[in-house]
Structure formats: structure tokens, C-alpha cells
Amino acid sequence: MAKDFVSPAGVLASWHAVANFAVGQQPLQSDAAIIQRLSLSRGGSSRAAMLLAPELEDGADLFIDFHPAITDGPDFEHVDFSTFTGIAFWARAGGTATYPFIVAIKDDQLSGGNEEFFTGELLTVPWFSALGAIGPGWTRYEIRFNQFARGLEGNSGHTPHANAIRSIHFIASPHVPFELWIDDLVLTCASPCPG
């Protein structure tokens, strides 16, 4: 079962794109990256986000940031997705090659200073992530929250706090100019999703 990620009551979400650098993340400007919502990017698509990026040392990060609709509460920086089991989405890369593809989650366990995925890996304060591959054909990915491991080394025993999710990140680092598409991101449930 799946539920549109923007539907849970009281949750606001917004897409962003940043370049990953050893000194931290830098926003990608309109001449370097474009985030678009497209209605016909894939047969059956209802919405999509696309990132165009130049060659970057650590690639780029297309991410969706969550926060409660009520912005004056103590939990402004994260939302509760504990009634859901994980996420599902469609994705593809432009061109003809296949690249490593990282899906990562930031939750309340990561400090505010840990702003870039690869810096976190180097400083032994890694994000929760799942590693796969992405190529030119549309592929559907489904990842349960308990499948995200702490860092690319897969530190088991630690999983993200589903009741305190800050953001979901889609990271590609092919060391060439690239295009990344994410389509129909949803939250998944073991049984019918809550209203």
C-alpha cells in the first residue's frame, strides 16, 4: 500500500537541490540545476522532480525537506512518519550510463552541523542510507525505514527514527554532468495507509 507523501495531515514539504562539496553543501543555481514538476515525465506519472547538474566532486543532492504545518511547536524540524513502513518512488538518470545512487534520510539523530552526506561519512557521523544503482530506464525503488543503515558501511543495529524524519535525499555522484529524475515519491504501509 502507498500514500502520497504530501498527504499526511499537518506536513509541509519542499524540494531543494544542492551541490556536495568537502566544505559543505552549496545551493545549485538555476544555471547549474533545475527542479521541475512535470506531469508527463513517465507514463502514469502524477508529478516529478528533475535535477540537471554540472560535473561535481561529490555529485549533487536532490532532496525533500519536511516540517510540520504548525511552525511554532517544539518539533518544527521533523515530522512523524512512524505509521508508515518506508518510501517508494520511480527514478532514472539521463544519458546511457549507470551510476551509484544513494538514498539517505536525516532524522533527529543527526546534528545540524552534519550537512553534507560524504562529509558525514568521512567524519564517522554518517547519515542513514541505502546504496543502489541508477540508469537511463525508469526503475521503481521501495525501501523500508528499517533497511536504511548508518553509513555506506551498513552499520546495523541503528535505524532512522521514523517518528522524527527531517528530510529524504537522492544523491548521485557520477563525476560527469548528469540528470536525475525522481517521480511519484510515496510513503508505504504494511496495511491500508492511515487516512
Mean pLDDT by 10 residues, the chain (195 residues): 45 72 46 44 69 73 76 66 91 87 88 71 81 90 92 73 90 77 86 73
Give me the pLDDT at residue 176, please: 73
Do the beta carbons of residue 42 and residue 136 sit within 8 Å?
Answer: no
Q: Is 116 helix (H, G, I), strand (E, B) or coil?
A: coil
Identity of residue 27: P
Is residue 186 a contact partner of residue 5, using CB atoms and an 8 Å limit? yes
Quote the pLDDT of residue 24. 45
Q: Is residue 195 part of a domain?
A: no
The whole-model pTM stands at: 0.82
Q: How many domains does the chain have?
A: 1
| The three grid cell numbers given for residue 31, joined into one nine-digit string | 544555471
Give dist(CA 95, CA 177) in Å, integer: 10
Give the CA angle between residues 44, 184, 120 to the nearest 5°.
Answer: 150
pLDDT at residue 179, as a whole number: 82
Position 170 in a domain: yes
User: Which CATH number do you get for residue 57?
Assistant: 2.60.120.430
Question: What is the extent of the structural domain holding 135?
Answer: 2-188
Give how far Cα 179 sits from Cα of 32, 63, 129, 158, Å. Answer: 11, 14, 21, 32
Q: Report yes or no on 194 lying in a domain.
A: no
pLDDT at 66: 80
Residue 169 lies in a domain: yes
pLDDT at residue number 79: 85
